[in-house]
């Protein structure tokens, strides 16, 4: 079940020209993030100067280790600057502190650890603490709970957002944390943070806002006159926020931030050991040894763009989002929930979305397909994350949407479901590896399989895929 086009390389040494050629060949199999044909995974600004300064900082500080900032003091400077910028974006006061991490999941894990340890100090360890979150919360919270010994209670949604009444009914003394999104990943809608924060405040429960996706763009939407619901430290009950510099901060991958309303919460997130005979072990993040490059690159990009640069890029995102949305509406697509961020979930009840996504893939566009939620009358939909580069390809994209709607599909939903019913997973995996079908179709395939079976199937596929 390994990809047929995987290149094999043994462990013998290679001449540098041969090795560089191999790297080029391996990379040529990937989609080019600079084309604007990806609507996930990368956040392309389309600015070559930004790319140049980011890569320069990334490589210049790649060999320095964030493990010991008393040795590499440049890390202190960079982290103070990056955290300071994020703090101002989130309207934090002088008490707000933060930590630099390598990704949103790591930032969320630190917020969950802080909430867990805060809960244990307050309530003791007699019960398993709970995280209350809407159905749309990012899976990183499930992962953090799995690692750290909590349980996640996923609550109903209303209008593709967290349902305030559901939180009011579910909160109790076993609740260690409330988690909300600004915006959520599936639909791009912003949870009612203000209303739920009042509930959290009354019960003295920490509330984390996952703004990994929106933290570096929603503030600039607001500066440009867009109506953006409040979600940050202007709301008294918000105790921590995560935001990714490697999303709409446009830094290279490996750059995220978690902010805490006060130093005590940050202390709960840290790990310190003074008992080892080797050295004092101080970790502000989950990882220990980390290259300083991503932090330096995050600083360089923030310094290069500044507030005005980010506003200009946000304006491009708004133009692309509005143009694509209006163009898709004319072709029969509608949005799930209100379009209020840089993410849209669009559906069209009159077409086979598996065929449409497959046809768009053949035309060179990478879209994600999301399965619907029948209990909330949410149909299957396509997921679009809009970046500044998409402002350059609006017309090309909409023209190809028209073509895709008219094309005869190579793969359609009926054929895929028939294969699933017959248990022909090997063929589906082969098509996935060969690029006949896109990985975004997987959620629809798995919908017909019991969850525990689907999890084991995916684990088996991944293990086989990475075997040599």
**Residue 12's pLDDT band (boundaries 50, 70, 90)?**
low
Domain range 307-465, CATH class:
alpha beta
Cα separation, 34 vs 146, in Å, equals 36
Question: Which of helix, strand or coil describes residue 325?
Answer: helix
Question: Which of helix, strand or coil describes residue 260?
Answer: strand
**Residue 124's pLDDT band (boundaries 50, 70, 90)?**
confident
Cα separation, 438 vs 420, in Å, equals 16
H or E element in which residue 295 lies: helix 293-330
Question: Where in the chain is CATH 3.90.1150.10?
Answer: 307-465
Give the number of other CB atoms < 10 A from CB of residue 168. Answer: 14
* pLDDT at 427 (0 to 100): 73
Q: 13-22, long-range: CB within 8 Å, 24+ apart, which pairs?
A: none
Cα 311 to chain centroid distance, Å, stands at 21
* pLDDT at 207 (0 to 100): 98
* pLDDT at 435 (0 to 100): 63
DSSP string of 2-67, one letter each residue = --TT-----SS---HHHHHHHHHHHHTTS--GGGS-BSSS------HHHHHHHHHHHHHTTTSBTT
- Per-residue pLDDT at 434 exceeds 80: no
* pLDDT at 1 (0 to 100): 40
Of 2-6, 150-154, 216-220, 254-258, which gets the smallest average pLDDT?
A: 2-6
Q: Which two tokens stand for residue 271?
A: 């790990």
* pLDDT at 200 (0 to 100): 97
Q: What is the pLDDT of residues 71-109, one digit of tens each?
A: 899 999 999 999 999 999 999 999 999 999 999 999 999
Q: What is the pLDDT of residues 167-184, one digit of tens each?
A: 999 999 999 999 999 999
Beta carbons of 397 and 413 less than 8 angstroms apart: no
**Residue 335's pLDDT band (boundaries 50, 70, 90)?**
very high
- Per-residue pLDDT at 313 exceeds 50: yes
Sign of the C-alpha dihedral computed for residues 172, 235, 166 and 346 taken in this order:
negative
Cα separation, 188 vs 183, in Å, equals 5
- Per-residue pLDDT at 11 exceeds 70: no
* pLDDT at 4 (0 to 100): 46
DSSP string of 179-239, one letter each residue = EEESS-TTT-PPP-HHHHHHHHHHHT--EEEE-TTTTTTHHHHHHTT------STTSTT--
* pLDDT at 137 (0 to 100): 98
Q: Nearest-CA neighbor of 292 among 252, 260, 320?
A: 252
Question: Where in the chain is CATH 3.40.640.10?
Answer: 59-302
**Residue 297's pLDDT band (boundaries 50, 70, 90)?**
very high
Q: Nearest-CA neighbor of 74 among 323, 394, 291, 318?
A: 291
For the chain, percent of residues with pLDDT exceeding 70: 91
**Residue 70's pLDDT band (boundaries 50, 70, 90)?**
confident
**Residue 117's pLDDT band (boundaries 50, 70, 90)?**
very high
The correct answer on CATH 3.40.640.10 for the domain covering 59-302 is: yes
User: 78: which residues sit within 8 A by CB, 6+ positions away?
Assistant: 100, 292, 295, 296, 298, 299
Average pLDDT of the chain is 91
* pLDDT at 454 (0 to 100): 73
Interval 266-277 mean pLDDT: 92
């Amino acid at each position: 079940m390994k990809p047929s086009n995987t290149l094999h390389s043994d462990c013998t040494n290679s001449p540098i020209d041969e090795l560089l050629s191999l790297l080029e060949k391996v990379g040529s199999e990937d989609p080019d993030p600079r084309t604007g044909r990806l609507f996930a995974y990368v956040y392309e600004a389309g600015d070559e100067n930004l790319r140049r300064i980011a890569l320069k900082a990334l490589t210049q500080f790649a060999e320095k280790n964030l493990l010991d900032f008393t040795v590499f003091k440049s890390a202190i400077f960079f982290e103070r600057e990056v955290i300071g910028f994020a703090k101002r974006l989130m309207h934090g006061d002088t008490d707000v502190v933060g930590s630099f991490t390598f990704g949103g999941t790591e930032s969320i894990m630190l917020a969950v650890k802080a909430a867990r340890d805060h809960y244990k100090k307050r309530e003791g360890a007699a019960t398993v603490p709970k995280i209350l979150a809407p159905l749309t919360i990012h899976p990183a919270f499930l992962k953090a709970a799995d690692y750290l010994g909590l349980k996640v209670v996923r609550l109903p949604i209303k209008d593709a957002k967290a349902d305030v009444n559901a939180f009011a009914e579910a909160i109790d003394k076993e609740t260690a944390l409330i988690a909300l999104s600004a915006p959520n990943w599936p639909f791009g809608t912003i949870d009612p943070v203000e209303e739920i924060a009042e509930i959290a405040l009354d019960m003295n429960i920490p509330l984390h806002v996952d703004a990994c996706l929106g933290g570096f763009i929603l503030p600039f939407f607001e500066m440009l006159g867009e109506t953006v619901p409040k979600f940050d430290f202007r709301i008294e009950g918000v105790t921590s926020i995560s935001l990714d510099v490697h999303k709409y901060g446009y830094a290279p991958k490996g750059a995220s931030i978690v902010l805490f309303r006060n130093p005590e919460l940050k202390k709960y997130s840290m790990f310190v050991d003074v008992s080892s005979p080797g050295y004092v072990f101080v970790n502000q993040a989950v990882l220990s040894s980390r290259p300083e490059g991503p932090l330096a690159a995050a600083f360089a990009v923030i310094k290069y763009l500044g507030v005005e640069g980010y506003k200009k890029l946000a304006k491009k995102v708004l133009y692309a989002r509005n143009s694509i949305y209006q163009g898709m509406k004319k072709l029969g697509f509608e949005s799930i929930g209100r379009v209020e961020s840089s993410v849209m979930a669009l559906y069209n009840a009159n077409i086979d979305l598996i065929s449409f996504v497959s046809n768009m893939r053949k035309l060179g566009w990478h879209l994600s397909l999301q399965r619907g939620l029948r209990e909330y009358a949410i149909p299957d939909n396509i997921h679009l994350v809009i970046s500044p580069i998409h402002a350059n390809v609006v017309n090309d994209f909409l023209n190809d949407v028209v073509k895709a709607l008219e094309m005869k599909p190579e793969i359609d939903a009926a054929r895929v479901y028939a294969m699933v019913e017959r248990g022909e997973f090997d063929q589906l995996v082969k098509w996935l590896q060969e690029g006949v079908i896109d990985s975004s179709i997987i959620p629809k395939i798995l919908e017909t399989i019991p969850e525990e079976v689907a999890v084991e199937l995916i684990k088996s596929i991944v293990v086989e895929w990475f075997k040599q």
